[in-house]
């Protein structure tokens, strides 16, 4: 009897220690939260593929096309509310249904932003009206369009545009205007003459190459042609060579930085330095071959 009592006390102590460790270890806590969320989501939506491990942008499909879920607030609630240990996804979907609805275009137009991603993004929906709408950019990249909400980011689909009776050029123009309003001045990197960086971290830094004509003044009165790099979604580097006696060193530095950032990010876009000029977008190799 005494031995059984000791074993029970030991088990309780171990359980308490495990709970305390989870509370004090945010990484393990976040992993446990994600496992539960993904497991419950898979049970409710068997055909939904959940991708990513970032609580601020967990990619999934809840039956209406691709979206990125921001689960940071839910995670904080989950850590402190025992009631959320079960039916986590059901609770989240209930909250989601009460938040802003995507509604009509005029109601969400100010929330629409462009986002560069690999052109293959959303290929699983090919031929479906739930396929995300996009415009080709260069290489294997394309511009997609999202509606931002505090708790999620919804990718616009062909169904959205059809229901709204809105054309893609209209959406594109409005999205660029929204992006310009949100854009801050770039940083001139120390020790790198002429190298400007857009690193706002909002998911649209690479996309700011689309509004570069409006940003020339903030990049040292930038003139075409110029070199740039978009190694991943959260980075845009622009090299202004005006006034530089030798561009070899800064260009080599930009190439090395681009390759490194491309390989180290799960939001990778383009591993090459690009050139933008009268001929549009060219790889550095193609530009050198033509000049």
Q: Report the pLDDT value the prediction gives residue 227, as an integer from 0 to 100.
A: 96
Q: Report the pLDDT value the prediction gives residue 6, as an integer from 0 to 100.
A: 52
Q: Report the pLDDT value the prediction gives residue 21, as an integer from 0 to 100.
A: 43
Per domain, the residue ranges of the chain are 19-98, 105-181, 184-290
Q: Report the pLDDT value the prediction gives residue 57, as an integer from 0 to 100.
A: 72
- CA quadruple 124, 126, 127, 130: dihedral sign: positive
Q: What residues of the chain score a pLDDT lower than 70?
A: 1-28, 47-53, 97-101
CA distance 110 to 106: 8
Report the alpha-carbon angle 219-236-141, nearest 5.
130
Q: Report the pLDDT value the prediction gives residue 22, as an integer from 0 to 100.
A: 43
Q: What is the pLDDT of residues 66-75, one digit of tens each?
A: 887 878 888 8
Reduced 3-state DSSP string for 140-160: CEEEEEEEECCCEEEECEHHH
CA distance 212 to 201: 17
Q: Report the pLDDT value the prediction gives residue 233, as an integer from 0 to 100.
A: 95
Q: Report the pLDDT value the prediction gives residue 161, as an integer from 0 to 100.
A: 95
Contact 69, 58 (CB under 8 A): yes
Q: Report the pLDDT value the prediction gives residue 13, as an integer from 0 to 100.
A: 53
């Amino acid at each position: 009897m005494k031995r059984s009592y000791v074993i029970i006390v030991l088990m309780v102590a171990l359980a308490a220690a495990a709970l305390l460790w989870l509370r004090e270890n945010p990484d393990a806590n976040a992993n446990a939260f994600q496992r539960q969320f993904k497991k419950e989501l898979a049970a409710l939506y068997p055909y939904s593929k959940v991708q990513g491990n970032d609580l601020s942008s967990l990619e999934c499909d809840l039956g209406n096309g691709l979206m990125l879920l921001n689960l940071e607030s839910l995670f904080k609630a989950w850590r402190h509310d025992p009631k959320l240990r079960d039916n986590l996804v059901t609770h989240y979907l209930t909250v989601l249904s009460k938040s802003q609805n995507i509604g009509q275009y005029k109601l969400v137009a100010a929330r629409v932003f462009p986002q560069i991603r690999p052109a293959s993004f959303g290929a699983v929906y090919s031929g479906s009206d739930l396929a995300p709408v996009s415009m080709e950019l260069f290489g294997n990249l394309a511009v997609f369009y999202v509606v931002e909400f505090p708790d999620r980011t919804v990718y616009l689909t062909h169904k959205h545009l059809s229901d709204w009776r809105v054309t893609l050029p209209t959406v594109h123009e409005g999205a660029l205007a929204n992006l310009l309003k949100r854009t801050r001045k770039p940083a001139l990197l120390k020790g790198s003459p002429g190298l400007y960086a857009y690193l706002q971290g909002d998911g649209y830094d690479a996309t700011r190459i689309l509004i570069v004509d409006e940003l020339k003044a903030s990049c040292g009165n930038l003139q075409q042609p110029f070199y740039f790099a978009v190694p991943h979604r959260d980075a845009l580097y622009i090299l202004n060579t005006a006034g530089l006696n030798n561009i070899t060193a800064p260009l080599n530095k930009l190439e090395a930085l681009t390759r490194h950032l491309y390989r180290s990010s799960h939001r990778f876009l383009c591993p090459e330095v690009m050139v933008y000029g009268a001929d549009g977008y060219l790889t550095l190799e193609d530009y050198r071959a033509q000049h």
